[in-house]
Chain A
Amino acid sequence: MRYAVRHTTTYTYDDLVTDSLGVAHLVPRSLPWQDVASYDVQVTPAAGDLEADVDYYGNHVTYFQVTEPHATLVVEGAGEIEVVAPVVPDDARATPWEQLRPLVATGSSVAAPPEAVDFALASALVDHAADAVEYAAASLAPGRAVGEAVGELMHRIHADFDYDRTATTVTSTVKDTMERRAGVCQDFAHLMLACLRAHGLAARYVSGYLATEPPPGKERVVGADASHAWVEVWLGGTTWLALDPTNDQEAGDRYVVVAWGRDYGDVPPLKGVIFTDARRSTMQVSVDVAPLG
């Protein structure tokens, strides 16, 4: 599938901002199954300084600074991306999950590259809350094939947790999500990461978009035309399995990968620091993922 993606963030302040510095993770990754035909990030007022770079995880990252006084800041990313469904070999799915624990050295373990070790460690927003550990244990039976085990975990999260914007705040933790049994895609991704990592598996947070064209009569896919988040589980070597607990499905050709990291904190679409006496700001975001056929 080919998509035209446009992601626009508008900040409006009640007083002038004299200086805005920002870091954006907006430019999608180029991947074997994803081709970024074109992509451009624009800042208004024009950024006197705008620099593209590649971060530690290989994500595209844009740094900018606006020093023209402004009461409105617009950051827009737009481009065309071609995606095919990533293929995960069956034998990789069949590996017993215990062999895929990078921090646990046992005779039968698959040797883990540093990247896998990194994603097996706890991170700032993914702590190993005790009840998440217990919750996940039900799916991770001894010797079970990893594909089956993590797939079931995804089904259970989808079934046991409600999608509810009101149940979540910026400071929501895995523990909060476990207690409220509700959240949004970011919370479910963090929860699933905690479940997997607490048992030794390596898994990463993926930030991106999910395109939806709801066929008549079918259930609406939650998260449509918005920033979305899901997870990828390490299956050994360089193979990762992408799972979306919010929609209970594997990520296919309707998923545009922007960036991955240990958790949301590594790859927020936009973060920044402003110098202002303004007291209030409003943020408007519009995301459009249009299929081009």
Chain B
Amino acid sequence: MTVLREYAAGLTQPTLDSGTAGATARYDEVVGPDGGLRASWKGLAELAVSITPDDLRRVGDEIARALEDDGVTYTRPGERAGPWRLDPVPVVIDAAQWAPLEIGLAQRAELLNAVLADLYGEQRLLADGVLPAAAVLGHPGFLRVVARPSAVDPRPLVLAATDLGRDERGEWRVLADRAQAPSGLGYAMENRRVISRVQPELYREAGLHRMEPFFSALRSALLQSAPGDLADPRVVVLSPGSQSETSYDQAFIASALGFPLVQGSDLVVRDGWVQMRVFGRLERVDVILRRVDAAWSDPLELRGDSRLGVAGLVEAVRRGRVRVVNGLGAGVLENPALLPYLPAVCEALLGEPLRLPSVSTWWCGEPDGLEHVLDHLDTLQVRRIDGPAVDLSGLRRQHLVPMLLAEPHRFVGQQRLPLSQSPTWESGTAVPRPLTLRAFTLRYGSAYRPLVGGLASIVEDGVSIASKDVWVLKAEPDAPDQGLSDVLPMTNTRATTATVPRILEDMFWFGRYAERAEDLLRLVLAAHALAEDFRNRPRSTGAAGLDVVMGALSRLAGPSPLDGADAAAGLDAEFRSILVDPARTGSAAHAFDGLRGALNGVRDQLSLDVWRSLGAIDRATATVGITARSHLVAESAGRMLTGVLSLQGVTASMIRDPGWHMIAVGRYLERALQVCHLLAATTTLRRGMDVDREVLNAVLVAAESAVTHRRRYRGSVRPGGVLELLVADASNPRSLAFSLEQVAEHLAALPASTGSSRPERLVADLRAELGETEIATLVAIGGETRPNLEEFLAQQLGQLQRVSDAVAELHLTTGPAPRPLADLALVDSLEATP
């Protein structure tokens, strides 16, 4: 039995509970009422019907793997970033079905743009009563600071998103308009990329519209949005940061379009122009594709507590010196109270009937609407016009009704659309699940063009639980993709380069955390090898050496958080904690968290291979298991190390821009710190020749210098030789001397370096001091210790920390953060002096 046959049979066979009274049959996306495939699937019938559960299971696994490799995440509010979910069965819509939807979407965007122009201009719609004033003025998306005669945005709506669902007859209805800062295009593109990779036969056979031309069109639409007539306008994507819900989507868009992904702190306003900090200079920004909600985008004139915005942005917009896409006031369109009036508004503004109907909605600010909603509380969903799309109809009647009566204009009632269903892969079988479709419409040239495709969501209790790719089939095999034959492919897309201090900061920490993880993992492996040999011979010299190496580990990874009971579990519990306990500052997991945070901030700058490496690290982490077992510790640490090394490999093929140099500065500065810490923990105390030999051997292994040492000193392990190799020998890439040389070289390549900048001078001092240091002096004995070595390492560590601080101060700071002029500006606190 194949998956789709089984699915179809399940739909047509009456089941025991199918007689649920009053339940409306959903429109099925794949199977028609006669039990046969729908027209859109007929062309795919042969292939599609032959898919077996095993095929689909394999595809499902491949999808999960591919999404993990690409690092695709979605962050639900208040949670850690979780994996993006994609169902293997696409939504397929044929050309005949798509055509009316496309016309309807284009008209709707045209209409919404005209609504914006009116509400922020003449307000004829309010004066004539076509739209009730309270529905508009009571919505927080209506921004008075841009509703001024001085501020004219000719085309406030550039990219609209429309959430759609089908009714029981299969007709599309608009559930909601998204105009503020629509998300999802990046996810849609990623979905397509993954599905085409894992379902190649189906994909090739389908004859569907590729999405790339739409991205080219979006890119050129943004460039053309620039005010005035600029030859080479600068476009940026303004993100609320890597913690935001859809940060993956934002980074994807930025890198697909070739525009830098920036945050509010990267931008400033000067003389009414928006400027970006580029290597200490300011360069003008002409167009901002905004992913920050309007209310948060300017602490001067909007929310004063926002850290995500740019002070003065609203003024720059009003003066027409920067174009924000979509316009700052566009959020007013997300108001569901507008829906019942759109047919009349469409007649008034466009002189034609509204083509794409919305889900039936009643605004309670109108007496008839309120009465209808109160009479149908059992069947309608009730929403605030200005809040998240939460259905309030679950509230008890005695709470809900007084709320509605007290401020009726803040609520709407909406019909519950049955939505269509589509086979969805769930625990080994395809089950029917309801879905919604997000469509995207772009102002391109003089008209609105919908994306021929979209992003479908499987919904459960109103929440999206997974996504589906949307395939719109071509009418003719040789029809141009997206119906856009005139769009130029994005051949001349400039690679975005690390420019702003924040990006350099993330690069610096990328380098540091990756190196920290690498060095720690090497030491864990060296310690583990020693433990394998000596853990059961507690009084041996090897066991004493193991103690020293474990001490070095806890110096690097922080003291063990294990309490008595856990500590009894022994070395393996400690190894496990050092590898996977994210709460332990200094653990590998902690370094990986830091690494991930830094990488998320610069996602648009990096190759997708980075995420594949992180995926490998995640899988290695998962192999450690809950209870520590010795062989799993070694295996897991080894695989983590492979992941980190492949990450270092990715940087090797990066463009040699300032970002790349900053990664190297971070990496070698960290290596210098690590080698000093390691030596300080292992070589400054004397413990007898035999124990010292065990310790030094482990140090050489951890510092990846054992082979060289053996070649050079023929197995005679002495402190002098080890220090020579790890401190002074500039030809050993693991030595302090080499690391400092690299720091100096990469620092010199940074734009803000002058040759005499403070970080450069500090590194030069360090190298000079190192050059004057004799290894023979360092190993000199003073009782139980080597006082010269102790002092030398302490000095180096202190100085390296100063280098790090100086790098941050010169290269990574954006200056002080903005804050409100005075929170105490209460009018009556003013002193009167007549």
Contact = CB atoms under 8 A, between A and B. Distances in A.
Given A11-B821, A48-B271, A269-B825, A284 B300 contact: no
A63 interface: yes
A49 B832 CA distance: 29
A22 B821 CA distance: 8
Contacts of B318: 53
Contacts of B133: 102, 112, 114, 117-118
B651 to A, nearest CB: 34
Contacts of B406: 128
Contacts of A224: 832, 834
> For this complex, into which size category does the number of interface residues on chain B fall?
35 or more
B829 interface: yes
A170 B827 CA distance: 10
B21 interface: no
A274 B818 contact: yes
A72 interface: no
Interface stretch (B37-45, B143-151, B721-729): B143-151
A20 B138 CA distance: 32
Contacts of A170: 823-826
Interface residues of A, number: 64
Given A49-B272, A274-B821, A55 B148 contact: yes
A207 interface: yes
A271 interface: yes
Contacts of B268: 19
Interface stretch (A82-90, A152-160, A285-293): A285-293
Contacts of A141: none
Contact of A271 (B138, B820, B829, B832): B820
B141 interface: no
B16 interface: no
B831 interface: yes
Contacts of A105: 366-367
A226 B300 contact: no
Nearest to A285: B830
Contacts of B768: none
A49 B319 CA distance: 12
A65 interface: yes
The DSSP consensus for interface residues of chain B is loop
Contact of B827 (A128, A207, A273): A207
A143 interface: no
A117 B138 CA distance: 9
A117 B137 contact: yes
Determine which residue in B145, B271, B300 has the highest number of CB atoms from chain A within 10 A of its CB, and name it. B300
A185 interface: yes
Nearest to B408: A103
A103 B134 contact: yes
A17 B711 CA distance: 61
Contact of B269 (A22, A65, A186, A288): A65
Interface string A132-167: 000000000000000000000000000000000100
Contacts of A121: 134, 137-138, 409
Contact of A226 (B304, B366, B367, B827): B827
A39 B150 CA distance: 21
B312 A21 contact: yes
A278 to B, nearest CB: 8
B783 interface: no
A8 B704 CA distance: 69
Given A113-B127, A266-B144, A277 B830 contact: no
A23 interface: yes
Contacts of B407: 122, 128
Contacts of B123: 114
Interface string A101-139: 011010000001110011011100000100000000000
Nearest to A116: B133
B761 interface: no
Given A11-B821, A273-B311, A228 B138 contact: no
A158 B312 CA distance: 40
B502 to A, nearest CB: 16
B299 A287 contact: no
A148 B832 CA distance: 33
Contacts of B817: 275
Contacts of A120: 134
A56 B148 contact: yes
A184 B826 CA distance: 10
Contacts of A169: 826
B147 A283 contact: no
Given A117-B134, A270-B821, A283-B825, A227 B830 contact: yes
A276 interface: yes
A229 interface: yes
A286 B365 CA distance: 45
B212 interface: no
Interface in A32-87: 48-49, 51, 53-57, 63, 65, 67
A268 interface: yes
Contacts of A168: 826, 828
Contact of A274 (B319, B819, B828, B829): B819
Contact of A228 (B127, B149, B827): B827
Nearest to A171: B823
Contact of A288 (B819, B826, B833): B833
A286 B831 contact: yes
A252 interface: no
A292 to B, nearest CB: 15
B822 interface: yes
Given A56-B148, A272-B300, A287-B830, A114 B409 contact: no
Determine which residue in B300, B301, B367, B826 has the highest number of CB atoms from chain A within 10 A of its CB, and name it. B826
19 contacts: A21-B311, A48-B271, A49-B270, A49-B272, A56-B147, A65-B312, A102-B134, A103-B365, A113-B127, A117-B137, A223-B828, A226-B828, A227-B830, A268-B825, A268-B827, A271-B821, A273-B818, A275-B817, A277-B816
7 closest Cβ pairs, A-B complex: A272-B821, A184-B828, A285-B830, A227-B827, A56-B144, A117-B133, A114-B133
Interface of A: 11, 18-23, 48-49, 51, 53-57, 63, 65, 67, 102-103, 105, 112-114, 117-118, 120-122, 128, 165, 168-170, 184-186, 207, 223-229, 264, 266, 268-277, 281, 283-288
Given A224-B834, A266-B144, 10 more contacts: A21-B269, A21-B312, A102-B133, A121-B137, A165-B829, A185-B827, A186-B827, A227-B828, A268-B825, A273-B821
